[in-house]
Structures are given as C-alpha cells and as structure tokens.
Amino acid sequence: MTILITGGAGFIGSNLAEKLLRANQTVIAVDNLITGSFENIRDLLAKYPNFKFFKLDVTSQEFSAGFQPGKIKLDRIYHLACPTGVLNCLRLSEEMIDTCSFGSKRVLSLARDHHCPIVVTSTAEVYGDPEIFPQVESYNGNVSTTGERSSYEEGKRFSEAMVAMFVRKYKVKAKIARVFNAYGPRMSAHDMRVHAQFINRALKNQPLSVFGSGRQTRTFCYITDTLDGLIKIMDKGKQGEIYNLGSNQPTTINELAKTVIKLANSKSKIKHRPHKITDHKHRLPAIKKLKALGWQRRVELAQGTLKMIAYVKSSN
C-alpha cells in the first residue's frame, strides 16, 4: 500500500510515517518545513528504502502535478499539513489560511482522482472557547471569525467545509479527525506548545512560563494513542464523519507544570505571565464516537510525560 502523508516532517506526521513504515507500508511524506523539520525524518529516510520525502508546498501546482494518477497510485492519504502553534496564529496567519484552503483543496482533489480514502486533521480549536462540556462533534463551537486565532480556527473550519463538499459532490471517502492536544517525541520546542516548552525548560532548570492563572484546562494525549486514533479513523471511520481524537482527562496548566517539574527532577519555578494571545478556558472532548471504532487511550499523562522527558534528554 502506498500512503501519502502531507505534513510528514512534522511532529505527528513523522511519527505516523514511522509507524506505517514499521508495518511495511510504502510512505511518501510531503512537507514545506515551515513548522516541521527535516531532522524528524532524517533517520527514517536512512533506515527505510520504501520511504520517500518531497519538500513541496501543498498549495503549489507542482505538488498536484507530481502526484497525478498517471504517475503514481496512492492508496491512502493522511492530510496533516498546516502551520501549527498558537503563537504562530499571528506570525503565520496567511500561510495557515492558504494551506487550509488552497492546500486542502489540492489534497482532497488528489483523493478524489485516486479514489482513495483520506483523513483530514482538524483541531479542537474549531470549538473556539466552548460553552458546552464535553464537546461533542455536533457542537458548532464558539469562534470569532476575526479574532487573533481566527486564521487557524476558521482555516480549519473551512477545511472541514471543504471535506463535506468533496464527500457530497465527488463521493470522496474522507473523514475528519479533530485532534485535541497531542504530545510526545519530535514535538518542536520552538513553537511554544506547552508540553514541549515545559519539558525543555525544566531540564535546564529554567522557569516555566504559565500564561494567566494556569487554571485553564486541557487534555493531553500521548502520540502513540493519537496515531492509533488516526489509523482507526482511516480504517473504520465512516465517510464524511467527524471524530474527536484526544484524552478526556482534563489537567490544569498549573498541574501540568508541577508534573513536569517533579518527573524531570527539576529545580524550575513556575512564573505566571500575561497571555500573549487570546486563550480559551477549558477543553474536553467527547470521545464516544472514536471509542465505538475500538479506540482506547492507553498511556497516562505521567507515563507519557516520562517517556517524552527521556526522549528530550537523549536528543539534547
């Protein structure tokens, strides 16, 4: 089976590539490296002859032209390409909008032309600052169309609308994974995503910056569970359906900071700072639909955090 992963040099994409390569699949990763890194896939390229990487932007004509059915046969597509990181909502807002619109259209068109199933990764951010708990997939969210985070939040909502159009008009076998906070090895330390930032700073005994009171909650899902979810959605998910993918164990950012400090044996202190960008108070996915596909979270927060600490230590 030949599987295309857009965003394949990113955190989730490179881990997904490794899992699929270990299962003897042929994997093609496409990435423009805007928030990902070639380092994430360097070892995989050396180890697996059935792994190919193309530095391409999914918004480009070159990308569409390179993967036409006459040139290659694709059996599955995981569409993960998108600039990420909350603070990048300001710095990379145009790139987010372009990738979620022009880019998603090119990727979904390939799925249509190859008659192959596709999973499109959306985000918990489509719920904005939610007013109902837990967030069920049918909840339409509470999102500002023009707020500081709107390029990402509305970009992803538009990608979802595009999936719905391709399903209705072209009968594409597309499914949507709404990913809540995932964490684990290969997560960039540069984009301020909280887990990576805390671990990197704790290992250097530097203060951990907690924005606001730290009482805001998130749920954290270890990468191996996230990958299981994506594959379950690909293999068993229904055409046109949306699946939340994440842990349903809420943790405050203060608790996460304390957990990281303890598990890393760190002398770091917690420093509260004003928010740099509008923050959302709480997040909690309803995961009944994903569980009905046979998915179960296996890695607890402390266990996953310890694994990630070990990874960051070994790669420093």
Ligand X SMILES: NC(=O)c1ccc[n+]([C@@H]2O[C@H](COP(=O)([O-])OP(=O)(O)OC[C@H]3O[C@@H](n4cnc5c(N)ncnc54)[C@H](O)[C@@H]3O)[C@@H](O)[C@H]2O)c1
Site residues (vs ligand X, CB under 6 A): 6-7, 9-13, 30-36, 57-59, 80-84, 99, 103, 121, 123-124, 179, 181-182, 188
Min dist. Cβ of residue 99 to ligand X (A): 4
Q: Considering beta carbons, is residue 101 or 115 the nearer one to ligand X? A: 101
Q: Considering beta carbons, is residue 31 or 137 the nearer one to ligand X? A: 31
Sign of CA dihedral 153, 158, 159, 163: positive
Min dist. Cβ of residue 71 to ligand X (A): 19
Q: Considering beta carbons, is residue 207 or 211 the nearer one to ligand X? A: 211
Q: Considering beta carbons, is residue 13 or 130 the nearer one to ligand X? A: 13
Min dist. Cβ of residue 30 to ligand X (A): 6
Min dist. Cβ of residue 97 to ligand X (A): 11
Taking phi first (over 0 means left), then psi (-120 to 50 degrees means alpha), and beta for anything else, what does residue 33 get?
A: left
Min dist. Cβ of residue 265 to ligand X (A): 26
Q: Considering beta carbons, is residue 125 or 274 the nearer one to ligand X? A: 125
Min dist. Cβ of residue 229 to ligand X (A): 11
From the list 186, 151, 230, the residue with the least C-alpha distance to 31 is 186
Is 152 among the residues known to form the active site? yes
Return contacts of 142-151, CB within 8 angstroms, 24+ apart: 144/278, 147/278, 148/89, 148/90, 148/277, 148/278, 149/86, 149/89, 149/125, 149/277, 149/278, 150/89, 151/89, 151/92, 151/93, 151/94, 151/96, 151/97
Taking phi first (over 0 means left), then psi (-120 to 50 degrees means alpha), and beta for anything else, what does residue 181 get?
A: beta
Q: Considering beta carbons, is residue 39 or 235 the nearer one to ligand X? A: 39
Q: Which of 152, 183, 222, 243 is catalytic?
A: 152
Q: Which residues are catalytic?
A: 152
